[in-house]
């Protein structure tokens, strides 16, 4: 290893002369290192020929039949796409109809309020009394026709029973059960 470094030093350690500006120098001519007067001439570069890429022979598969499942799959996707578009169109129509029905509902509610106000005005008791008394068919009651009830006394109930009270109780129980059963059956019909 020491000899290799020694050779490198001796090769570069020698001073060589530079003949003018090397930028304009003629083709490289330099004296031989060992004292010879031979002139080295540059040799043309030889390009190696690139070989064309050889592709391996591959057997090409013949076009096979179209898969039935692929055709059915594409048809199913197409049908679903059409159904999706139709349902979107139907949803839009229903939404528009709902909006128009809501506006119609608000119009009907305001009309109902107006009609209720007219209805309440139509049944004003003073106007009804004036209309009825104007043609003479209704006459105000006289003082002899007015009766006043006195409800200051306590209420009392008197229940009169018949002599055969036990038989009547069974009959009333049977009739109440019968009416209860009829009510239940009529509910389920």
Convert the pLDDT of each residue in 49-98 to its tens digit. Answer: 777 777 788 888 777 788 899 999 999 999 999 999 999 999 999 999 99
Return the percentage of the chain with pLDDT > 90, whole number.
26
pTM, two decimals, is 0.32
Which of 28, 35, 42, 39 lies closest to 14, judged by CA? 35
For residue 6, give Cα distances in angstroms to 17, 32, 179.
Answer: 22, 20, 136
For residue 71, give Cα distances in angstroms to 20, 60, 66, 77.
Answer: 83, 24, 8, 10
Given a cut of 60, whether residue 147 has pLDDT beyond it is: yes
The span from the CA of 14 to the CA of 8, in Å, is 11
Given a cut of 70, whether residue 146 has pLDDT beyond it is: yes
Convert the pLDDT of each residue in 40-51 to its tens digit. Answer: 677 888 878 777
- Owner of token pair 């169109």: 89
More confident residue, 101 or 180: 101
What's the average model confidence in pLDDT over 24-36?
52
Given a cut of 70, whether residue 125 has pLDDT beyond it is: yes
Three-class secondary structure of residue 118 per DSSP: helix
């Amino acid at each position: 290893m020491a000899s290799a470094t020694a050779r490198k030093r001796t090769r570069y350690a020698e001073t060589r002369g530079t003949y003018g500006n090397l930028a304009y120098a003629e083709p490289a001519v330099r004296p031989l290192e060992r004292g010879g007067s031979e002139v080295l001439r540059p040799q043309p570069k030889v390009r190696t020929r690139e070989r064309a890429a050889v592709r391996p022979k591959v057997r090409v598969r013949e076009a096979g039949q179209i898969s039935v499942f692929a055709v059915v799959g594409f048809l199913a996707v197409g049908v679903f796409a059409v159904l999706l578009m139709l349902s979107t169109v139907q949803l839009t129509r229903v939404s528009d109809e709902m909006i128009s029905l809501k506006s119609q509902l608000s119009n009907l509610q305001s009309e109902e309020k107006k009609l209720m106000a007219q209805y309440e005005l139509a049944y004003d008791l003073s106007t009804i009394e004036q209309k009825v008394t104007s043609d003479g068919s209704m006459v105000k009651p006289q003082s002899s026709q007015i009766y006043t009830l006195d409800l200051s006394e306590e209420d009392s109930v008197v229940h009169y029973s018949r002599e055969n009270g036990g038989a009547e109780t069974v009959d009333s129980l049977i009739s109440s059960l019968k009416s209860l059963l009829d009510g239940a059956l009529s509910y389920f019909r």
